[in-house]
Amino acid sequence: MSVEIGIPAPDFEGQSTKGKIRLSSFKGKRVVLYFYPKAFTPGCSRETQRFAEMYEKFRELNAEVIGISADKLPTQEKFFQKYNVNFPLVADPELNIIRAYGVLSDSGKSASRVTLIIDENGIVRAVIKGLKKAEEHVDKALEVLKSI
C-alpha cells in the first residue's frame, strides 16, 4: 500500500545520522521526507547534495528535510559526511519504514525515489515521483511547499 495525499503519514522511529528520530516529534513543522534507492549512486548523490544546498530555503518555509534509504547507518554516516548534509539521513536496512510508506522498489531491496510533503499536523499533502532527474525532487518540493 502506498501513502496517499490527505491521509496521516505513518509515524516511524529510526536511527539516523543525527541520532534516533521519530516523525511525530516534528509536529508543528512541515516535513520533506525523501526516499532514495542507494547512497553514493550518481542520482542519489546529486539529489542529496541539492537538498543540502537548499536546506536553508526549506527551513525558511518551516520545513525539515529527512532522507531515508535501505543503507545501513555506517554507510549513511559516510554519505552524510561526504556531502556535508545538514539534516538527518535515516537508515532502514530492514525496510520497515520503506514498506510502511509503500515505496519499496521493484527489486524489493531498496526504496523507490519518492518525496513526500507532510504538513504541520502530519498529513501527507504531496507525493512527488516519476521525475526525470533525481535532483528535480528538490525544486519540486520547494515549489509545493510555497503553494500550500
pLDDT mean over 75-101: 97
The pLDDT value recorded for residue 2 is 77
Residue 59 scores a pLDDT above 90: yes
Count of the separate structural domains present in the chain: 1
In whole angstroms, give the CA distance from residue 125 to residue 66.
16
- Kindly report the CATH number assigned to the domain that includes residue 84: 3.40.30.10
- Count of CB atoms within 10 A of residue 95's CB? 16
Query: CB burial class (10 A; 0-12, 13-18, 19+) of residue 15?
Result: middle
Domain boundaries, position 118? 13-147
Question: What's the rounded mean pLDDT across residues 60-75?
Answer: 97
User: Residue 17's closest CA among 71, 56, 96?
Assistant: 71
First to last CA, the chain: 25
* Residue 148 binned pLDDT confidence (cut-offs 50, 70, 90): confident
Say if 69 falls within a structural domain.
yes
Q: What is the DSSP letter of 144?
A: H
Residue 112 falls inside a structural domain: yes
Q: Mean pLDDT for the chain?
A: 95
Task: Check residue 1 and give its pLDDT.
Answer: 60
Asked if residue 4 belongs to a domain, the reply is: no
Nearest to 67 by CA among 28, 42, 32: 32
Asked, for residue 5, whether it belongs to a domain, the answer is: no
Active-site positions read: 44
Q: pLDDT confidence of 82, banded at 50, 70, 90?
A: very high
The pLDDT of 90-114, averaged and rounded, is 95
Residue 145 and residue 141: Cα distance in Å, rounded? 6
Q: Is residue 3 part of a domain?
A: no
User: What pLDDT does residue 120 have?
Assistant: 95
Is there a domain that residue 6 lies in? Answer: no
Q: In the chain, what percentage of residues exceed pLDDT 70?
A: 99
Say if residue 91's pLDDT is above 90: yes
Say if CB 32 and CB 137 are below 8 A apart: no
Q: In the predicted model, what is the mean pLDDT of residues 127-147?
A: 93
For the entire predicted model, the pTM comes to 0.96
| In a domain? residue 2 | no
| Cell numbers representing residue 57 in the block | 530555503
Q: Do the domain assignments include residue 8? A: no
Q: Which amino acid is at 105?
A: S
**Mean pLDDT of all residues in 98-118:** 95
Beta strands 13-16 and 63-69: pairing type? unpaired
